Chain A
């Protein structure tokens, strides 16, 4: 049979899109299926598992639906049995209460396991800490160990757990680097903790995921992961060549605007604590050990 060019083209598009769904690992665009570190990997494995488990209900439902509608349609001469008063079956009820309960139980066990696991450092390496402040509409990163600061990008060493400590000097946002792991809110006056780690070098897109007004769509940043030695020389370079972040500069930065990447060789020691305190953090210190 001869096929017209268009229909085989369409077929190609159709099958390749189905394939895209089935084998998403092949495409680097599907960032959720392309984990670059242990945290994202745990979450990826979990997502696949949960998809398989829910399919165990969805696929039979779809199959049954098609079968039943075709077989029991009200057509003249339909020979299929008709039992208008058959309304109960203990066995069937047990089956369809039982199967979902079982599936939820299995999924529940894995959920609890992974939820707890994700609060712990992903590996035993000595971690580094980066403080993150979401601003309108940009991201600021502070390195308390080396005292350097960056805006809209940060660099991390590969193979090392990074503890991100998150806060905001603007409305609540959410810090998300899909290839490294799931997100965590940044909230003014509060501190949140998120473990991430990159195992392979690369540039990973990060984004503000929680709506914060006009410039929200532009709150993107990059996480650059490189081997430890290169990371250290990057730190040295910033320390040596970048300008200092002063309080005046910060006061400019905090105003609503969209900016490019920036690097700073130092920042005022109390900058981070002041940001948390002035946004209400001072009310939390005394009686409330948050999170």
Chain B
């Protein structure tokens, strides 16, 4: 294996060699800095072993932003290659690896962790809980995600990236056509992080159903919490299908089985179905919590209760259920016959109905309100037109007779970027700006944020609108080059300019964060936006036990009502404080992730010794956890008083 890796690096293109060197230097730099500033202990105690939902959320956020950078660079490389016909910037192999890692990273290592970040940071605070239902499991989820992402990214410099697309259909993804380690990386890293995602789904369902503060009935829950519940329900139903698909593909590749090969009775169409039984709901997993974020933001910044709360809840639930019955729209052209295609067409279009209803309810929340154009609100307002068009083209794609033409063309690319960027990314940015003061105790600079906003938004339309036209001109997706006679050159060039504008927008966000760490407006009240839900009743940043006293809820928008009735005092009365029970930190989740990583790495290269060592590590961690006596610890009333006073 070692020789294989060295050989790969020696033959690799200079870009990859340079990245390898850069990675080594960055690592040395980080280690040196941590040693010099004596931060190892801090890192270990405060972050690596933490089980605090807020810190886990922040770690998800940091990883997601780093991965967004990586995925964004991938995107710019691709757009550069496509800027002109017959361009010679990336060769076919390189381009294929990059579009594969771009797609996989953006969905699984950007959208998912951003959403887990928001869920982790906000849900327990919104429902008045001290932590999630299973804090230890929550840390396990994070470290499985972390090591899954690490394994996936290593493929770039160690042995070669996967190159069969983020869908990795067999037989292209089978050994017969992809013999290198690339697809193994794909299978194992997604498998490892997928286990974490399922655990998160379970964790938050239980948290939301069992840990709500007294008085918070289901129909008084904030809409963000509702949306997380809907999303988690989809996670636990959809992800197992992906687990199975990956496991069988992995067995084909590593153990020589024939589930999806053409020979010995295997059937690749089975993979395509399993993949999309997960893959379509996956896009709803990413978008549902975002609907929740928009609901919170629109209501707060219009100074109005959300319009049509019941409709909002019903539509969330409808989307999560119907979203599970539409997967065939990703392959109407696989010959399913008109009956099946008709059913899945109509079901897919039906998802548009509750989505449209939500948009109208947001609009009427703003109607007769007072709209403050803060950063979270700007991103929300930008979301509405973008998503309206993305949803509309979704409905057009969902109708089989149209999709026969659109499928695999740039129309699809434009559609899903419009929903994923215009929906999920805009929403998660809105959420990040909205809850940033809660996480870190200061606001992000508005001016820099507006520059980021305009660059990103204008860039978005310049980049993706031409792609609809390119689709109508017959440009197929996943081509690394095209001849000049096609006439696709001009629009591709425009699209590339848009991509760079978005890149500049992203840089503005980076500058904004760095600038605001030093100079950002401090949040001393804990309620910088005049918020409505319980998280704004807490100081920023939130003490690690969250609520000194669990509040009692009397209606929707609980904090708003308390403010209206001047009940703040009853929230913070120090007289009735009681000691608080909290879970202990643990290093086991980290080691468990590491053990999974070792096992995965071994399997990627068919090194069964290494894999066995890793799997033994996993079992040891589980046994350790089962046998240790860890009953948590108590925080005394004095400590709480001290914390609340500071």
Contact = CB atoms under 8 A, between A and B. Distances in A.
Interface of A: 20-21, 24, 29-33, 40, 42-44, 46-47, 50-51, 54-55, 57-58, 61-62, 64-65, 68-69, 72-74, 78, 80-89, 92-93, 96-97, 99-101, 104, 107-108, 110-112, 114-116, 118-119, 171-172, 174, 176, 178, 181-185, 187-190, 192-193, 205, 207-217, 279-280, 283, 290-291
Contact of A83 (B357, B368, B396, B472): B368
Contacts of A80: 368
Contact of B478 (A101, A185, A216, A290): A216
Given A116-B342, A205-B474, A211-B164, 9 more contacts: A47-B396, A50-B402, A86-B307, A87-B305, A108-B346, A111-B400, A119-B338, A189-B262, A216-B478
A183 B308 CA distance: 42
Interface residues of B, number: 88
Scoring B307, B335, B473 by chain A CB atoms within 10 A of each residue's CB, the highest score goes to B335
Contacts of B474: 31-32, 178, 205, 207
22 contacts: A30-B472, A32-B472, A47-B401, A54-B393, A54-B395, A57-B392, A73-B370, A73-B373, A84-B369, A87-B306, A111-B342, A111-B349, A116-B338, A174-B407, A185-B331, A209-B408, A213-B96, A214-B92, A214-B93, A217-B92, A280-B262, A280-B264
Contacts of B472: 24, 30-33
A171 B353 CA distance: 37
A244 B371 CA distance: 75
Contacts of B399: 46, 50, 107, 110-111
Interface in B245-270: 261-266, 268-269
Given A58-B388, A72-B366, A101-B353, A210 B342 contact: no
Contacts of A40: 405
Nearest to B407: A183
Nearest to B367: A68
Interface stretch (B46-54, B146-154, B165-173): B165-173
A263 B87 CA distance: 31
Interface string B58-98: 00000000000000000000000000000000001100100
B471 to A, nearest CB: 8
A209 B476 contact: yes
B334 interface: yes
Interface string B154-182: 00000000011100010110000100000
A154 B355 CA distance: 45
B327 to A, nearest CB: 16
Interface in B356-408: 356-357, 359-361, 363-364, 366-373, 381, 384-385, 388-389, 392-393, 395-396, 399-405, 407-408
Contacts of A99: 356
Given A101-B353, A108-B345, A217-B482, A43 B363 contact: no
A92 B307 CA distance: 11
Given A57-B388, A88-B307, A100-B357, A172 B172 contact: yes
Contacts of A74: 303, 370-373
Given A57-B388, A74-B371, A182-B407, A187 B268 contact: yes
B559 to A, nearest CB: 15
Nearest to A90: B308
Given A171-B172, A185-B333, A209 B353 contact: no
A205 B482 CA distance: 13
A172 B360 CA distance: 42
Contact of A88 (B92, B308, B473): B308
A290 B405 CA distance: 23
Nearest to B351: A104
B341 interface: yes
B309 interface: yes
A211 B412 CA distance: 14
A104 to B, nearest CB: 5
A94 B96 CA distance: 48
Contacts of B263: 279-280
A55 B381 contact: no
Interface string B28-68: 00000000000000000000000000000000000000000
